Structure 1
Amino acid sequence: MSHSRSRRRTLAALAALATAGALSGCGFQLRGPRPLAFSSIYLGVSTQSDLGAALRRRIRASGSTSVEDDPARADVRLEILRNERHRDILTLTGAGKVREYELTYSIAFRLVDRSGAERIAPTVITAKREYNFDDSQVLAKEQEEALLYNDMQGDLVEQLVRRLAAVKS
């Protein structure tokens, strides 16, 4: 019996090694902080804003890029052209009351180097979420909406940083 168990463990270990080898051979990598191609960046958004603070944290987590407070000292400037949130009615009840809302969060940005050349042309990234609305739970629904916007902001920051990581030096 122990010989059979040992053989199964060996086969399982070999299968795991083969899978790992196949995944690494195809270029698969776990998501994590990706280094950026520039050593310093200026963020054209207030560090006091939720978006500015989230971007600063995420870029610092990349480990290779510092966030500069002076645009003249940075290798590149991230310019936030638009940062908008919208709430639209998605469906109504038969009585004309709101049943569902659709939340949209959009960020437009571009990346410019020291010489003024665009490294990323103006780009818009958008996240959308839907939620059911109930007049009897207004406070809970306001909290849910705030959480959804926060979640969308996190998604957009990740998308933006992935775009920054794709820029070649």
Structure 2
Amino acid sequence: MMNTIHKKFITLLTLVIITSCGFHLRGMTEISFKTVSIEGKDLSFTKNLKKTLTSNKVAIVLPTENPELRIELLSEESEKRILSLSGQGLVREFEIFYRIRYRIKTPDSETWSQENILESRRDYTYSDSNVIGKEEEERQLNESMRIETITNLFNQIQLSKK
């Protein structure tokens, strides 16, 4: 009985310490603007970007409506490289890259910012005996890199507004 009370006390004490130090899970940075226009090329992650913006109560407007922030999407690239080979010359590992180029403009600036690049990279093993599974793994890794890129884009935008 004493042992159970001791464990509960330790658990409660740990929770109090964690919450009192300000610990919280990392999420999206709070956005300090309410309107944004997305210009340039329609990239594969543009739909997710718009969805994430609207879910954070940011209105997507036309550039002529004087948004608080303008984002111009310049390019998107995906690349896949062989990272290692087996002794028989078969691919063992791949490295995949996902990169976007963009620039921003605020109402108080007369010119666009310099071109910014966000890049995400993942490594994964490959096996000819499990082609379908490895293709699905690659698809999921590409999707996670797009989500990571959107999060990084938000963080960069937030820095530009400060």
CA contact (8 A) 2:72 2:104 kept: yes
Q: Distance in 2 between matches of 1:167 and 1:90?
A: 36
Q: Tell me, which stretches of 5 or more residues in structure 2 are unaligned? A: none
Q: Distance in 2 between matches of 1:142 and 1:158?
A: 25
Q: Distance in 2 between matches of 1:15 and 1:94?
A: 50
Give a deviation string over 1:25-78, Cα, whole Å, max 9, x none.
xxx66434444233211112666x540111112222322x2112x222123221
TM-score, length of structure 2 as denominator length: 0.78
Q: Distance in 2 between matches of 1:101 and 1:18?
A: 42
Q: Distance in 2 between matches of 1:144 and 1:31?
A: 25
Q: Is 1:142 aligned to 2:97, yes or no?
A: no
Give a deviation string over 1:127-163, Cα, whole Å, max 9, x none.
1111111122222221111111001111111111111
* Alpha-carbon distance, 1:101 to partner: 0.6
1:44 equivalent in structure 2: 39
From 59, 63, 85, the equivalent of 1:71 is 63
- Percent of counterpart pairs with the same letter? 25
Letter in structure 2 aligned against 1:72: T
Aligned in 2, Cα 1:30/1:16: closer, same or farther, shift over 3 Å? same
CA contact (8 A) 1:79 1:111 kept: yes
Q: Tell me, which stretches of 5 or more residues in structure 1 are unaligned? A: none
Instruction: Please provide the CA RMSD for this pair.
Output: 2.9
Q: Residues 31-110 of structure 1 correspond to what in structure 2 (within 5 A)? A: 31-44=26-39, 49-63=43-57, 65-68=58-61, 70-73=62-65, 74-110=67-103
